[in-house]
Structure formats: C-alpha cells, structure tokens
Amino acid sequence: MSKKALSGLKVVEYGHFISAPYCTKLMADMGAEVIKIEQPSTGDESRYHGPFPDDLPHPEKSGLFLYLNTNKMSITLDVGTAKGREILEKILKDTDIFVENNPPQMINELKLDYPRLKKLNPHLIVTSITTYGQTGPYRDYKGYAINCCAFGGVSQSLGHNWREPLTFPMSMGHYLAAINGAAATMVAILARDITNSGQHIDIAEADIWASHHVGFGVTLYTFIGREHLRNGYLGGGWTYPTGRLIPCKDGYMALCAPQVKYWKQFIELMGNPEWSQNPRYRDRRAMEYEYPEEVDALLTPWFLERTKQEHFKFFEEHAIPFAPLYNMEDEVNDPHLTEREFFTDIDHDAIGRLKYPGPPYRFSKTQWSLERPAPKLGENNEEIYCDRLGYSKKDFVELRKAKVI
C-alpha cells in the first residue's frame, strides 16, 4: 500500500445518493478511513440507480454506487432506534469528520444537529451538504438537482434562449457541492490543528452554482445591467468563436479562440475563403453576439470533410486550440488518458473486474489510488461492531435480529 496523504483521518458518512458519498470518496481515495452508514436491508439509494450490467437492477451492481464508494467500508445501522443511536455515538466519539446530506429538518428530528454532536465530541467536524443550506427562508424547501440548477442560476446558461431551459445532466450539482464540501472540510482540519476544536460546515448546492459557477452573472448585472446569461458564452464579452460546436465527418469539433491570432491563422489554413473577406465576417464580436449560427454554417463544409481525429491532429500540429467533442467511448479508448492510466481496473465480488474512472489530480508523493472496490451492503459490520467496538458475537446476532444493523 502506498503512502497516503489523509491516512489516519477517520470519516463517517451518513448520507445517500451522490453529494455526501462523493465528498467522502474524495477523502477515501486520498487515504482517509471512511465508514459509510447505510440503512439496514435497503442501503444507499444509489444502489438502485444504475447503470446496471444489461440493465438488470441489483443492489451490488449499480455503476453509480460502485463508482462513488470506492475505498470505503459499509456498515448497516438504523440510527433512529435507541440502540442504533448508542452505537452511532460510540463511533462518533472517535471520529474526525462526519459528512451528511440529509434535510435539516430530518437531522433535527434525529437529534443529530451540530450542537448535540459537538457536546458528544468537540473535535468533530460536521459537514452538511444540502440543497439550500442550513439558513435562509428556503432552508426547508425540498429540492432535487434540477431545482438547484433553476434556483442556482446555471440553467439560464444551458440550452437556447428561445426554448425551455435545461438542467445540468447527471445531477452534476451534487458533485460540485461534494468537492466544495471536501475542500471546506480540509480547511477545518487545518484549523483544528491550531484551535483544537471542530466546527460545522454548511454547504448549499444552490450557493455553489450561484457563486463559483454563475455568480459572475450577478457581478455583470450590477456592473453593466446585463440581466441574464441566456445569450451565450460567459454572457458575452467575447469574440467569435467562443465555444462553438461544428459538425464534422464523424461528430463535432469544439472551437474557441477569443484571441485574434488563432482565428487569423485558422482562416489562412482554410485557404482564405472568399466569405472571410466580407466585412460582415470580420467583426468577430458581432459574429459571436448576433449571428454565430450563420458563421457556423460557413465553416461547416470545411469541417465535414474530415473526422474529428484528423482535425484534432491538424490543429495540434498548428497549435490552434480546437478539439473534438468526445463521447464516453472516446474517453475510455483515448490514448492520452490511457498513457496517464486514468482508468483503473478493480475486482469486485459481485460484478467482477471493471474499469473505473480515475483521479482528478496527481500527487507526486501521496498518490490517489483505488485500493478496494465499493463495499457490499454491511460488508464491514462484523469488523466494526465486534473487532472495533467490542460487541460480542452474541450481541451482534441480537442487533441483527432487532434490525438495528
């Protein structure tokens, strides 16, 4: 086993689906010990989400669950029961980080609110990832990823301004909230080394969209009165081509060259077509703001002559920053990602050997790694309850009978 940056850090996850699990995966993949608490007999809802091999649902074969829960342990525990509560408290007394993504109301009902947990363990860092956060008038509103896209303001820049807006696919906001939650938690670890006390971290998915992603739109609104971001890339201010997708022989090419030198070079490489001399196609700002589709159409015949790989190679040779639009097949088979060993093969009892997508970053001394596959439901019950917490085999059977675990 290689040296890990977060080894020794004890994390408990009491969450479901994407945001809390991805947050703790980020820690587990860097060496933290993550105990995932799942509801007895059902477990994390992502176990039922898929994708499944041949589309046949099976709680140990969900691609989303397998991907989000690498390097973790799973125990089943009903924290709503008195006995379950007692066990959870035992665990949390010896925990550094508690990550949860439940509605604030539910956490209050379960008496798992921060003031109570702080009394239990003042060193504990509690990271709550929710839709709207722990404060504010919408705190108790119900919300799924699409509602966060709406309220967080990202949907205003997805899709066309003459049609219905779009949600970000794949519940992407959950992942973003998770990364931000992990980063804020690491800040709290650094702070704890000095203050010797834990704290509560409140991450709202709607805030994350509204700030780091499209918060610049509010800055532009107050600065120049641009009310929305529906008209295109960065709400304008750029010159053609700023993020156009142009069809080619076998897919699409993505074009972005706000700097004039690339555009000039590209026009030259196309052989200075006659239209490029027309003043209408020399005003790159008007081209981007007013008639980008018209310019796309002028470029299309040239692009249709070659495949995306042929184009990519050509643009690479000329150092022009245009690239193909990849799909998931392209990702899995890409030679660059292959050479960087982006995908890792790991074995799993229920599903066998599969490729898993890899690291968001490469550390030179403490590498990201997948040491173990996602756990089966309650896979580590005996290890945690008997070996670590000291329950006898007899207690263990009782707990199971009472459906506490």
Partner 1 sequence: MAQYPLQGYRVVDFGSAWAGAQITHMLADMGAEVIKVESRTRIDYARLGGVPTPKDLIDKSPEAIAVAYPEHLELNPLFHLLNRGKLGITVDFTTQKGADLLRDLIKRSDVVADNFTPGVLDKYGLGYESLVQIKSDIIVVSLCLAGHTGPLKGTRGYAPIITALAGLDSMVGYADESTPSGTRFAFGDHVAATHGALAILIALIHRNRTGEGQYIDISEWEAVTSLLGEPLMDYIMNSRIQGPVGNRNTNMAPHGFYPCKGEQEWVSIAIKTDEEWHNFCHAIGNPKWTEDNKFRDRLNRTDNYEALDKLVGQWTANYTPYEVTEILQESGVAAAPFMISKEQHNNPHFRERETFIEVEHPKAGAETLYGIPWKLSETPGGIRSSGPLLGQDNEHVFKELLGLSQSAYDRLVEEKVIY
Beta strands 33-38 and 72-76, pairing class: parallel
Shortest CB 85 distance to partner 1, Å? 23
What's the closest the beta carbon of residue 38 comes to partner 1, in angstroms? 19
Q: How far is CA 297 from CA 68, 158, 291, 322, 384, in A?
A: 41, 21, 10, 17, 62
Q: Are 20 and 101 in contact (CB under 8 A)?
A: yes
Closer residue to partner 1 in complex, CB, 62/381: 62
Site for partner 1 in 67-106 (CB under 8 A): 67-68
- Considering only 157, 369, 380, 381, the residue that binds partner 1 (CB under 8 A) is 157
Closest residue by Cα to residue 358 from 373, 340, 372, 375: 340
**Residue the block writes with tokens 């290689």:** 2
Site for partner 1 contains 161 (CB under 8 A): yes
State the minimum distance, in angstroms, from the CB of residue 207 to partner 1.
4
Minimum CB separation of residue 16 from partner 1 in Å reads 13
The residue from 42, 57, 86, 136 that contacts partner 1 (CB under 8 A) is 136
Binding to partner 1 (CB under 8 A) within 229-288 occurs at 229-230, 232-239, 242-243, 245, 247, 252, 254-260, 284-285
Q: How far apart are the first and last CA of the chain?
A: 31
Residues 310-329 that bind partner 1 (CB under 8 A): 316, 319, 321-329
226 binds partner 1 (CB under 8 A): yes
**Positive/negative CA dihedral, 260, 264, 269, 272:** positive
Chain-centre distance of CA 376, in angstroms? 22
**Is 186 one of the binding residues for partner 1 (CB under 8 A)?**
yes
Q: Is 57 in the site for partner 1 (CB under 8 A)?
A: no
Q: How many residues does the chain have?
A: 405
Quick one: which segment of 83-91, 133-141, 273-281, 385-393 binds partner 1 (CB under 8 A)? 133-141
Which of 58, 318, 362, 393 is close enough to bind partner 1 by CB under 8 A? 362
Could you say whether residue 194 binds partner 1 (CB under 8 A)? yes
If one counts every other C-beta atom within 10 angstroms of the C-beta of residue 320, the result is: 18
Residue number, 196 or 401, with CB nearest to partner 1: 196
Buried b (16+ CB within 10 A) or exposed e, 132-149: bbbeeeebeeebebbbbb
Stretch that binds partner 1, among 33-41, 74-82, 156-164, 381-389 (CB under 8 A): 156-164
Q: Which of 127, 128, 125 is nearest to 92 (CA)?
A: 125
- Report strand pairing: 33-38 vs 10-14: parallel
Residue 119 lies near partner 1 (rule: CB under 8 A): no
**How far is residue 357 CA from its own chain's centroid?**
12
From the list 196, 339, 349, 390, which residue makes contact with partner 1 (rule: CB under 8 A)?
339
> Which x/- pattern, by CB under 8 A, does the window 14-53 give for partner 1?
------------x---x------------------xxxxx
86 close to 77: Cβ distance less than 8 angstroms: no
Per-position x/- string for 366-405, each x denoting binding to partner 1 as judged by CB under 8 A, each - no binding? x---------------------------------------
Find the farthest-apart pair of alpha carbons in the chain and give their distance in angstroms, rounded. 86
Q: Are 337 and 354 in contact (CB under 8 A)?
A: no
Of 359, 382, 386, 400, the one binding partner 1 by CB under 8 A: 359
144 is an interface residue for partner 1 by CB under 8 A: yes
DSSP-derived secondary structure letter, 226: -
